Amino acid sequence: MRTSDLHSWSHLLERIEEVDRRGENFGLEDLAVQLAACTGPDSNGDSLAAFHADRLVAYGVVRPRGGHGGHGGEHAVVDGGVTPDLRRQGLGRAVVDWFEQWAGARAAVAGHSVTLHCRVSDRNPAHALTILERGFEPECWFTDLERDLPADTSQDPISGHAESRHAESQDSVWTGKIIPYSGAFAEPARVVWNDAFSSSPGNPRHTADSWHRATSAPSFRPESSFLARDASGVVVGVLLADHFPTDTERTGVREAWITGVGSRRSARGTGVVDALLTHAGRAHAEQGYQRAALSVRSDEPAPQLDVYEQAGFRRAHVWAGYARTFSAS
pLDDT digits (tens, 9 = 90+) for 257-313: 999 898 998 887 788 988 999 999 999 999 999 999 998 877 755 556 777 888 888
Fold matches, 3-135 and 143-319: yes
pLDDT digits (tens, 9 = 90+) for 157-192: 555 444 444 433 334 457 789 999 999 999 999 999
pLDDT at 39 over 70: no
pLDDT at 224 over 50: yes
Measure the CA–CA gap between 154 and 272, rounded to whole angstroms: 22
Q: Give the pLDDT score at 204.
A: 59
Out of 14-23, 95-104, 198-207, 300-309, the most confident range is: 95-104
Average pLDDT of span 203-231: 88
pLDDT digits (tens, 9 = 90+) for 81-131: 999 998 888 898 999 999 999 999 888 888 888 899 988 888 877 888 888
Homologous superfamily, domain 143-319: Gcn5-related N-acetyltransferase (GNAT) (3.40.630.30)
Measure the CA–CA gap between 278 and 280, rounded to whole angstroms: 6
CA distances from 125 to 64, 121, 132, 142, 295 (A): 26, 8, 11, 16, 19
For residues 61 and 1, is the Cβ–Cβ distance under 8 A? yes
- Ordered by start, the domain boundaries in the chain are 3-135, 143-319
Q: Give the pLDDT score at 269.
A: 78
Q: Which CATH class is domain 3-135?
A: alpha beta
**What share of the chain has pLDDT > 90, as a percent?**
37
Q: Give the pLDDT score at 13.
A: 92
Q: Give the pLDDT score at 41.
A: 44
